[in-house]
Amino acid sequence: MSRINEGMFTSDRLDWATPQGFFDLVAREFPFTLDAAASPNNAKVNTFYTEADDALAQPWPGIVWCNPPYGRGIGKWVHKGWSESQTGSTVVMLIPARTDTSWWHEYVMCAAEVRLVRGRLVFGQGEATSNAPFPCALVVFRPGQSSPVFSAMERGLLNRRAA
């Protein structure tokens, strides 16, 4: 009998920081103006929303970075990213590659790009001790584009921890 890895579905915390090397790679392509899901300790952009700001109730203007909380409410975040692209923003999201979920089919499949990350990322700012127990995708929502182009991102360019 196989066992389910509970870490793939739950976490004691929802504020794991984006790996800096991964963000730096993506930021070379996108001049981000807002980090939509951050804390003062892990913000990647000078302008950012914290949990207290309730980013889901705020506008996301410009070119937006979002590594949302990966809990049960992630579908609301992905919907918000898609929705903001419909009003003119470009939204780049780092999310778990959960292709079996309704939010993936309803919103990610309407993105401009889906870049599947090869291997597993290491989240956090030095406190993580192993790779994430799930695959990730970089999803790009652009105004006026709604048929995703799929591609791969090599994990080796993003972090050096062995899989």
The domains of the chain, with CATH numbers, are 12-156 (3.40.50.150)
- Tell me the whole-structure pTM to 2 decimals: 0.82
Query: Distance between CA 88 and CA 30 in Å, rounded?
Result: 15
37: left (phi over 0), alpha (psi -120 to 50) or beta: beta
Q: What is the pLDDT along the chain (163 residues), one digit of tens a residue?
A: 334 344 444 455 556 678 888 899 999 999 999 999 999 989 999 999 999 999 999 999 999 999 999 888 999 999 999 999 999 999 999 999 898 999 999 999 999 999 988 877 767 655 555 666 678 899 999 998 887 787 877 654 443 333 3
Measured torsion, CA atoms of residues 15, 19, 24, 27, in degrees rounded to the nearest 10: -40
- What tokens does 92 get? 């780049």
From the list 85, 116, 73, 90, the residue with the least C-alpha distance to 29 is 90
